[in-house]
Amino acid sequence: MFIKRKISDKILEHAKGYPVVAITGPRQSGKSTLVKQLFPQHIYVTLEDLDIKAKVQADPRGFLMSHGQDQGLIIDEAQQVPELFSYLQGIVDQQKKNGFFVLTGSQNFLLHEKITQSLAGRVALFTLLPLSTQELEEAKKLSATSEDQIKKGFYPKLYDDVTLDVNFLYMTYVATYIERDVRNVLQISDLVAFQKFMKLCAARIGNIINFADLARDCDISPKTAQAWASVLEASYIIKFVHPFYKNFSKRLIKSPKLYFIDSGLACYLLGIKTSQDLFLHEARGAIFESMIMMEIYKIYCNKAENAPIYFWRTAQGQEIDCVMEKSFDQQILVEMKANATWRQEFTSNLYDWENISGRKPVHAYVVYAGNNYFAGDVQAIPWNQMGRMQL
């Protein structure tokens, strides 16, 4: 069953104004399927096909000229042939046809580098993350409970084929990621240590990261731990969320929180095999928080907007899970609770913000694991009704 992606209209809108459309995102987030649906008249090639990749490397200009005359061209995993981008710039400037070239890539660090070097001002750039709860709800494929949904995760392949074994999918996903990206592209040789590092990151989900502790537990240097974490973030395995301070410069010198882009992958790395295991797991609250934080991130990505998401914590330990900036003096606050039973005390931290900052938030929400919406100064948002939030 086709699941309509929220980002589709934005991509088509901006394809009318830019000669190149580039879509990054994790492996298996649905990039190839989406661009084929949105640009059905374009020729499609993937540079993960070794024969095609070899031909493109041998004659990049000839490849672009022979494939990109009339119909338009989709180049999947475009970062596989970095030298292609400088030739693409010349052809784009000659043709001046908007929406003609469509690029996808699963390695943000490589694709972004080439785009900024060669295609600045010529490209509309988007991020396609795995499916959102809103997309699944509209397709009537959302799980009945938050535990079921967290454990299953959000990769489209799981919803294309309901017979797939979830744990097997994540096992092969990790193996493929490590083999294709970590070994071949990033030239990291100690793959066993890197996989251990991924599991140690999962054990710290929803927590402020201490690279010295992480490095010690993995028996690597802090510098290596930071480098490997950057690799995980650039390839859309994890995301760091930084602390909110009125003095913006402090964001850069304080430790971030670590979240996983996909909750199902985090569960796999933590050895959580069933929804019942998740319900009893000590990290249940942190994994729920990670899922909701990434749902907020998806909302911004699907609107083609930067995600101004932070967390707030005082020296006394008062904390708000998510602070979003609408402007310098306007914030939206969100707390996240894995409890399915609504309790008024869930709102207490949100009132702490107003008392300490002297600012009233534009909106204040508590997203929780139940199914009932409650209005008020602080709105109670069920995990499966994220569309109620005004961001």
Last residue of a domain, one of 255, 286, 317: 286
209 and 79 together in one domain: no
- CA atoms of 58 and 226, how far apart (whole Å): 36
Last residue of a domain, one of 127, 162, 194: 127
Q: Tell me what the mean pLDDT of segment 337-359 comes to.
A: 89
Q: Tell me what the mean pLDDT of segment 331-343 comes to.
A: 96
User: Into how many domains does the chain fold?
Assistant: 3
pLDDT tens string 146-165: 999 999 999 999 999 889 99
250 and 280 together in one domain: yes
- Three-state SS sequence of the chain: CCCCCCCHHHHHHHHCCCCEEEEECCCCCCHHHHHHHHCCCCEEEECCCHHHHHHHHHCHHHHHHHHCCCCCEEEECHHHCCCHHHHHHHHHHHHCCCCCEEEEECCHHHHHHHHHHHCCCCEEEEECCCCCHHHHHHCCCCCCCHHHHHHHCCCCHHHHCCCCCHHHHHHHHHHHHHHHHHHHHCCCCCHHHHHHHHHHHHCCCCCECCHHHHHHHHCCCHHHHHHHHHHHHHCCCEEEECECCCCHHHHHCCCCEEEECCHHHHHHHCCCCCHHHHHHCCCHHHHHHHHHHHHHHHHHHHCCCCCCEEEEECCCCCEEEEEEEEECCEEEEEEEECCCCCCHHHHHHHHHHHHHHCCCCCEEEEEECCCCCECCCCEEEECCCHHHCCC
pLDDT tens string 31-71: 999 999 999 999 999 999 999 999 999 999 999 888 756 78
Residue 293 resides in a domain: no
pLDDT tens string 154-211: 999 999 988 999 999 999 999 988 877 787 666 788 889 999 999 999 999 999 999 9
281 and 351 together in one domain: no
Predicted TM-score (pTM) of the model is: 0.94
CATH of the domain at 182: 1.10.10.10
140 and 268 together in one domain: yes
60 and 169 together in one domain: no
pLDDT bucket at 86, cuts 50 / 70 / 90: confident
Q: In the prediction, which pLDDT does 109 show?
A: 66
242 and 374 together in one domain: no
Residue 285 reports pLDDT greater than 90: yes
49 and 175 together in one domain: no
Residue 252 reports pLDDT greater than 60: no
Q: In the prediction, which pLDDT does 245 show?
A: 78
pLDDT bucket at 339, cuts 50 / 70 / 90: very high
Q: In the prediction, which pLDDT does 103 show?
A: 95
Residue 357 resides in a domain: yes
Residue 253 reports pLDDT greater than 70: no
Name the residue with higher pLDDT: 265 or 108.
Answer: 265
Q: Tell me what the mean pLDDT of segment 24-28 comes to.
A: 93
Q: What does pLDDT average to over the chain?
A: 91
Residue 268 reports pLDDT greater than 60: yes
pLDDT tens string 104-122: 988 766 677 777 777 888 9
118 and 141 together in one domain: no
38 and 84 together in one domain: yes
Q: In the prediction, which pLDDT does 249 show?
A: 56
Last residue of a domain, one of 254, 286, 318: 286
Q: In the prediction, which pLDDT does 185 show?
A: 63
197 and 260 together in one domain: yes
CATH of the domain at 101: 3.40.50.300
190 and 150 together in one domain: yes
Q: In the prediction, which pLDDT does 133 show?
A: 98
88 and 177 together in one domain: no
Residue 299 resides in a domain: no
pLDDT tens string 220-247: 999 999 999 998 998 899 999 999 876 6
| Domain housing 90 | 8-127
Q: Tell me what the mean pLDDT of segment 364-383 comes to.
A: 96
Residue 329 reports pLDDT greater than 90: no
